[in-house]
């Protein structure tokens, strides 16, 4: 079967629909996304393989997903460390950071130093973009208060370059940072040649997933049958209490475990 994905235009419309007729708040969607990411990390790298997890968070909602994932990972008995150099002044993100502070989760500004002492990395710097060449707009309010165009701004180029060069397994949230939603990996810039170990697509796979060949998970066990039908989504059946399902990287179909 062909790998079916959700286009950039449809992804924007779907996010808006989830927050309108779907009656979800952005807090709920972020919590569900972060929970999915944490379960994928647990599946990929259980605590018995090493408890140190470095979560790299950008200033938008992708970073918020990472903050939520860090909280869940702490409760799973990991030792998360958060790289969050451009902390948002948005009240929602501040609450997420406070929750981590209350748990004693450390924040670091030395990404490359922290990378040397970790067993797994979560790339939650930038998610899916509706524009090529790193142009980020207000993606259905998923990047509220943050936009840029042109090259990736400091301090993130060095972090993305380090992600590309590390031998530590990397799990990217919704998109490998610097990838374009439609065309996949960039042909230039710090993200050129960056292929993470795993990808967690949120709600539905985006076109960039066709360029990805690592382990691929889908998180988004909250879409109603009506909305799925409206957007022609072929969502797999989730098992038990799982919030994620692993997909075949070639076909996008659920893997039979």
Say if CB 35 and CB 1 are below 8 A apart: no
* Residue 135: per-residue pLDDT: 31
* Residue 123 forms part of a structural domain: yes
- Residue 242 assigned to a binding site: no
**Euclidean distance between CA atoms 163 and 143, whole angstroms:** 22
Closest CA to 215 of 134, 120, 75, 143: 120
Q: Give the 3-state secondary structure of residue 137.
A: coil
**How far is residue 216 from each of residues 171, 206, 208, 241, measured CA to CA in Å?**
9, 12, 12, 19
Residue 254 lies inside a defined structural domain of this protein = no
pLDDT in tens, 149-169: 346 777 888 999 999 999 999
In this structure, what are the phi and psi dihedrals at residue 225, rounded to the nearest 5 degrees? -55, -35
| Residue 132 CA, distance from chain mean position | 18
Known binding residue 150? Answer is no
Consult the annotation and say whether 149 binds a ligand. Answer: no
Residue among 42, 54, 210 nearest 117 (CA) = 54
CATH code of the domain covering residue 93: 3.40.50.10260
Split into its structural domains, the chain has a count of 1
> Average pLDDT in the 66-88 region?
96
pLDDT in tens, 195-237: 999 999 999 999 999 999 999 999 989 999 999 999 999 889 9
Q: Assess whether pLDDT exceeds 90 at residue 9.
A: no
Element containing residue 215 per DSSP (H, E): strand 215-219
Q: Which domain holds residue 137?
A: 8-247
In three-state secondary structure terms, 95 is helix
Q: Does 174 appear as a known binding residue?
A: yes
The stretch 67-89 carries a mean pLDDT of 96
Residue 19 in any domain: the answer is yes
Does residue 255 fall inside a structural domain?
no
Q: Let me know if residue 25 belongs to a domain.
A: yes
Residue 2 in any domain: the answer is no
């Amino acid at each position: 079967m062909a790998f079916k994905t959700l286009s950039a235009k449809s992804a924007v419309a779907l996010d808006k629909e989830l927050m309108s007729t779907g009656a979800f708040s952005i807090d709920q969607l972020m919590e569900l996304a972060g929970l999915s990411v944490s379960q994928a990390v647990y599946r990929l790298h259980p605590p018995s393989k090493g408890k140190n997890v470095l979560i790299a968070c950008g200033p938008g909602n992708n970073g918020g997903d990472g903050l939520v994932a860090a909280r869940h990972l702490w409760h799973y008995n990991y030792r998360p460390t958060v790289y969050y150099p451009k902390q948002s002044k948005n009240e929602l993100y501040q609450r997420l950071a406070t929750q981590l502070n209350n748990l004693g989760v450390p924040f670091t500004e030395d990404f490359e130093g922290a990378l040397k002492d970790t067993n797994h990395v979560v790339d939650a710097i930038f998610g899916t973009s509706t524009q090529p060449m790193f142009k980020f707009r207000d993606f259905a309010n998923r990047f509220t208060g943050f936009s840029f165009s042109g090259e990736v701004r400091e301090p993130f180029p060095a972090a993305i370059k380090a992600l590309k060069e590390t031998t530590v397994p990397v799990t990217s949230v919704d998109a490998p940072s610097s990838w374009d939603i439609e065309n996949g990996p960039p042909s230039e810039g710090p993200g050129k040649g960056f292929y993470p170990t795993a990808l967690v697509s949120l709600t539905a796979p985006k076109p960039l997933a066709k360029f990805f060949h690592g382990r691929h998970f889908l998180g988004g066990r909250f879409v109603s049958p009506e909305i799925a039908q409206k957007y022609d989504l072929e969502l797999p059946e989730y098992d038990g209490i799982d919030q994620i399902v692993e997909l075949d990287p070639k076909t996008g179909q659920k893997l039979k475990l």
